[in-house]
Amino acid sequence: MTTPNPAWAKEPAPRYPEPSFKGSKIEGFRYHSKEFFEKEWEYMWTKVWLLLGRADEIPETGDYQQEEVGPESILMVRQEDGGIRAFYNVCQHRGARLIFNDVGTVDAFTCPYHGWRWEIDGQLTFALDPEDFPEGDPCGKLTLNEIRCEVFAGFIWVNMDPDCVTLKEYLGPLWDEWAAYEMDHWKRYLAQTCTAPINWKVILDNFNESYHLPTVHPQAAGKTEESYLSTQYDMAPEGHARMWMQSGKPSKQMEWNGGQVKIEPVLERQLRLWELDPDEFRGGREYETREAIQQAMRKLGKSRGYNHFDNLRDHQLTDVYHYFLFPNFAVSLWATGFHFLRARPHPTDPTQSVFDHWWYSPVPFDLETPIHTPNGTFKAGDEAEHEVFNYGEQSLGLLIDQDMGVTTGQQLGFRSRAFKGVYLSGQEARIRRYHEVIDEYIEGKGKRKVDSTPHTAIAAE
């Protein structure tokens, strides 16, 4: 699409089908029980598509990324044909891990224990003393254990279930919605990984509702509509969810609560970014800023390098689409930014998790252009340094510090005998749906099979 159709551009977001609910109580044991934790791993984590690496961060043959999910370590490796393949990071001789670095480049993976050489396609080409094996030379008999792997939106996705559905089928409506943003070459400007004293689901529960926004994030009212009355909530049959919140204008929640409607600094900055004068909207025109910003983005976007604006409806230029992607990934998606929020289970402890807090943005023509992230402003040409730390050692930025501050206390409350289960509002229904889909996997109802099992993922460059 080169220029948006005026009628199409003004259409609202299509609704997802309404799901049915079983009325799960979501009791506290789900957040600290070792038995439940092990069931999640065995019947859910090993059956779903997981967003792991980033394709453009391993551009050359032999480049690899390694990421951990629970007790597993996954290698993602660029192949000679340009594709990417994924393997369990474990030698098939006696179980040693092959790689401990997060990123790197190799001609082959050499086991640090006994020197076995595994090529980047998983083939074993050297074993010390091959004549000494009663079952014969292991070369030609053993390979690295491969995992289904696909590339979409610039990210590498893996599924440990060889009989899983395709990634496109798994993502459902999210596939086409995300494709419109052309995220394949967006760049990471913030990268924080934090080990937190909370179950991984506590993090995702929080990102699955907006009920906490006025209490926990009062500063967001400066440019985002916080009221559930103005928010569209959707839940997809696949277990994913979406929340559409109007942005680019003051929240009417402020007026409804008896406050004064005004242009806060965060909205003022957004107006100036698109060459609009905030003073022109004061004195009664404060709610007109959203449409004005949309028009300015249409006018200026392509000249700044944002060609994907033509794929988006008007409201997508200003508003935030907050997606939950089952089971462990949430993202706030704007036309110019992608707030990456991922929780991974701890290898052994259900009361801990690994939380990734990243930010991606499209790269504008002018590399001096400021990129605004939740943790500050960077130049478009800046490289993100990956920071790894434990919760409390440093800030995750105001927004996420606020979230983590309340959810760490919630984790403690889940152990109380006084907590008998949740009492949810309508706007928190996505939490109930989320836990019921987890239960469906544990009950064996989440696994669907396909006939073909392709391994190599080739990105659409």
Task: For CA atoms 442, 444, 450, 451, give the dihedral sign.
Answer: positive
CA distances, 267 to each of 219, 252, 332, 349, 381 (Å)? 11, 14, 17, 42, 24
Is residue 339 located within the same domain as residue 217?
Answer: yes
CATH at residue 317: 3.90.380
Q: Is residue 456 part of a domain?
A: no
The angle, 0 to 180 degrees and rounded to 10, between the axes of the packed helices 265-273 and 289-300 is: 30
- Do 254 and 402 reside in the same domain of the chain? yes
Closest CA to 303 of 275, 330, 279, 280: 275
Q: Is residue 263 assigned to a domain?
A: yes
**Cα–Cα distance measured from residue 276 to residue 270, given in angstroms and rounded to the nearest whole number:** 9
- DSSP letter at 292? H
- The 8-class DSSP code of residue 3 comes to S
**Does 160 map to a domain?**
no
249 and 315 part of one domain: yes
> Quick count: other Cβ atoms within 10 Å of Cβ 92?
18
Residue 224 and residue 319 in one domain: yes
CATH number at residue 127: 2.102.10.10
| Residues 129, 217 share a domain | no
Q: For residue 289, what is the DSSP state?
A: H
Q: From CA 397, how far away is CA 384, in angstroms rounded?
A: 15
Residues 317 and 192 in one domain: yes
What values do phi and psi take at 94, rounded to 5?
-140, 25
Residues of the chain scoring pLDDT < 50: 1, 449-461
352: its two tokens: 């801990």
449 is a domain residue: no
DSSP string, 405-450: HHHHHHHHHTT-TT-------GGGHHHHHHHHHHHHHHTT-S----
What are the residues whose beta carbons fall under 8 Å from the beta carbon of 167, sequence distance 6 or more?
Answer: 49, 150, 152, 157, 159, 175
Rounded to whole angstroms, how far apart are CA atoms 219 and 216? 9
Nearest-angstrom CA–CA distance, 49 and 47 = 7
Q: Domain check: are 283 and 147 in the same one?
A: no
Q: Which pLDDT score, from 0 to 100, does residue 7 have?
A: 79
Same domain? 216 vs 347: yes
Q: List the structure tokens of 117.
A: 């050489």
Taking a C-beta distance cutoff of 8 angstroms, is the pair 295, 271 a contact? no
Q: Give the model confidence (pLDDT) of 69-127 as tens digits.
A: 999 999 999 999 999 999 999 999 999 999 999 999 999 999 999 999 999 999 999 99
Residues 141 and 230 in one domain: no
Residue 266 belongs to a domain: yes
Query: Residue 180 domain-assigned?
Result: no
Domain stop point among 105, 134, 155: 155
* Burial group, residue 284, by CB count within 10 angstroms (0-12, 13-18, 19+): exposed
Last residue of a domain, one of 155, 173, 204: 155
In a domain, 455, yes or no: no
Residues 203 and 325 in one domain: yes
Q: Are 432 and 21 in contact (CB under 8 A)?
A: yes
Q: Measured in whole angstroms, how far is the alpha carbon of residue 72 from the centre of its chain?
A: 19
Q: Are residues 292 and 317 in the same domain?
A: yes
- The whole domain housing 432 covers 6-45+185-442
Structurally, the chain folds into a number of domains equal to 2
254 by Cβ neighbours in 10 Å (0-12 / 13-18 / 19+) ranks as buried
Q: State whether 242 and 119 are in the same domain.
A: no
Q: Containing H/E element for 69?
A: strand 63-69
Query: 175 lies in a domain?
Result: no
* Structure tokens, 86: 């994924």
